[in-house]
Structure 1
Amino acid sequence: MTTKVPDDLHPELRARLLDSDGGALAKKMGIEFLELSAEHSVARMPVEGNTQVIGLLHGGAHVVLGETLGSVSSAIHAGPERYVVGIEINATHSRSVTEGWVTATCDALVLGRTLATHEIVIRDDQGRRLSTVRMTNLVREA
């Protein structure tokens, strides 16, 4: 896995987000983190192994990629003394894909004291938008 993380990412947060089995689903789906921060993150995922019965990338796989990236970005915003829980997610699928990799770009819309909202755009290898995911996390005290 190729991972770029902020230099000042707290070691406990790094362990929770990247090094533990807390990301078991992301690992099973082959998600690779390329860039991570509260404001802007990027990850990618293979289409192979994540398709539905007719060979298209499963819509749920889009959502898993989006939720994983939105949750990690929100957790970075919250820091090691707080944690986040997802309270809302929606996805609009606008195009299908049957091969290659998809890349998700996550940008913060709101980074507040109690809420963090991100928009995640998932694109194919040609840069075409496949889906748009919006996720809101509640920031809680540990």
Structure 2
Amino acid sequence: MTIWTHTPSIDEANAMSANTIVEVLGITITDIGADSITGTMPVDKRTHQPFGILHGGASVVLAESLGSLAANLACEKGFVCVGLDINANHIRSVRSGVVTGVAKAVHIGRSTQVWEIRIADEADKTVCVSRLTIAVIAAS
């Protein structure tokens, strides 16, 4: 059973991010499961910090992008979801390759949602764990 109130195709989900930071950083939605959203991001000059490793802020952009998309797919018609708070624990550094984030719901309520996003490297070692709190507001 799915948690989504509507489910776009992978192509539609990726098209929603045209001309945004998601596109600039090369983030791509790769799977919309019954209860999770998965996406990837390259670790390269766009996402490095000055020491040549994945920038923590880039990890947060990946986490919030996946969690926000998931939240909006899980909210009722006539409402939109916006980020209220995010935290991130950076566990391991990455110099190159691709990281993969998976967003899963912790709580889906009428006025708030909470999402956990795990980001891993190509060896499936945890790079970052993030928790995103979402406000559910009436669409204008």
TM category (shorter chain) comes to 0.7 to 0.9
* 1:34 aligned partner, one-letter code: T
Aligned to 2:69: 72
Percent identical pairs in the alignment equals 32
Is the Cα–Cα contact under 8 Å of residues 38 and 74 in structure 1 kept in the other structure?
A: no
More helix by share: 1
Query: Taking structure 1 as the reference length, what is the TM-score of the superposition?
Result: 0.84
Gaps of 5+ in 2: none
Distance 1:31 1:10 in 2: 17
Is the Cα–Cα contact under 8 Å of residues 84 and 137 in structure 1 kept in the other structure?
A: yes
**What root-mean-square deviation, in Å, do the aligned CA atoms of Structure 1 and Structure 2 show?**
2.2
Describe the SS at the equivalent of 2:113.
strand
Distance 2:99 2:8 in 1: 29
Q: Does 1:54 align with 2:51?
A: yes
Query: Taking structure 2 as the reference length, what is the TM-score of the superposition?
Result: 0.85
Aligned to 2:31: 35
Gaps of 5+ in 1: 1-5
Aligned pair count? 133
Aligned to 1:101: 98
Is the Cα–Cα contact under 8 Å of residues 14 and 28 in structure 2 kept in the other structure?
A: no
Question: Cα gap change, 1:78/1:89 in structure 2, threshold over 3 Å: closer, same or farther?
Answer: same
Q: Does 1:128 align with 2:125?
A: yes
